[in-house]
Amino acid sequence: MTAQTKSRWSFITDSRVWRSFFRHGWPDNPLDRSLTMTSNVFFHLHPVKVSRRSIRWSYSFGLGVISTILFAVLTFTGVMLMFYYVPSIERAYPAMKDIQLTVPLGEFTRNMHRWSAHAMVLVVILHMVRVFYTGGYKRPREFNWIVGVFLLLMTLGASFTGYLLPWDQLSYWAITVGTNIASYAPFVGDTAKSLLLGGSDVGQNTLIRFYTLHIAVVPLVMIVVISLHLWRVRKDGGLAANDAKTESQKQK
């Protein structure tokens, strides 16, 4: 920004309201550039300085960010569906039919929820593959890799628990098969199965358990773990590609 332009806008940029929002000057010097990054809720997820390589689209394909956006879409559309869905074995299927056929934008919201769920499983796996391929799991990011593994399991858990909710033949038998598989786990298998089912067969108790896990437990735990994951990305110096820059700078 030239000195002339600066003075033209100074009546705004010097006002107390402006300065209460932007607590730094125009980012044309190293200090104000740093302050721009650290004082903005979105920018501060990045380190103050990043390497060009790490922000190239082809480095991460934005897969972690896309996973986060999909989680937000799922939360929003899930809350919308909750206005009509009833977790009862008599009313769940008719409620789904109502959502599909009579509720305004119901079919669209349900499809957004379903497709975002499928996409999230795929995108999270691709994100994991990308992190592995670029060596992002190595020191000091090994803890965040473990956090990521939990996120993958929870993403799968959210899909599994959501599968029963339409209460149609597909969901009934899928959960029957799924919980039978769980019963084969050594030592804890039978306990896990009866804990999930709330009895010996898929029924009302199962539906209410899966509903509670799906709409409260899993999403709330995921919000906490995703926040931890993003905080660790920041604390570990952003993406691993930034380390290479630091190393080459050290050698100079």
Binding site for ligand HEM (CB under 6 A): 60, 62-65, 67-68, 71, 124, 127-128, 131, 134, 136-137, 141, 144-145, 148-149, 151-152, 155, 226, 229-230, 233, 239-240
What CA–CA distance (Å, rounded) separates 199 from 217? 20
Question: Which residues, in sequence order, are CB contacts of 207 under 8 Å at separation 6+?
Answer: 87, 88, 89, 92, 164, 165, 167
Q: Which is nearer to ligand HEM, 87 or 148 (CB)?
A: 148
Q: Which is nearer to ligand HEM, 62 or 178 (CB)?
A: 62
Nearest 5°: the CA angle 81, 163, 220 is 60
Q: Which is nearer to ligand HEM, 74 or 92 (CB)?
A: 74
Q: Which is nearer to ligand HEM, 193 or 229 (CB)?
A: 229
As a whole number of Å, the end-to-end CA separation of the chain is 32
Q: Which is nearer to ligand HEM, 182 or 222 (CB)?
A: 222
In the chain, alpha helices (H): 3-13, 16-21, 30-38, 52-55, 57-60, 63-82, 92-101, 106-133, 142-163, 169-182, 189-197, 204-212, 218-235, 241-251
What CA–CA distance (Å, rounded) separates 155 from 177? 19
Q: Min. distance of Cβ 55 from ligand HEM in angstroms? A: 10
Least Cα distance to 230 among 21, 65, 9, 79 occurs for 65
Farthest CA pair distance, the chain = 78
Q: Min. distance of Cβ 148 from ligand HEM in angstroms? A: 2
Q: Min. distance of Cβ 230 from ligand HEM in angstroms? A: 6
Q: Which is nearer to ligand HEM, 60 or 77 (CB)?
A: 60
Q: Min. distance of Cβ 191 from ligand HEM in angstroms? A: 27
What CA–CA distance (Å, rounded) separates 129 from 122? 11
- Of all residues in the shown chain, the one whose CB is closest to ligand HEM is 148
Q: Min. distance of Cβ 141 from ligand HEM in angstroms? A: 4
Q: Min. distance of Cβ 30 from ligand HEM in angstroms? A: 25
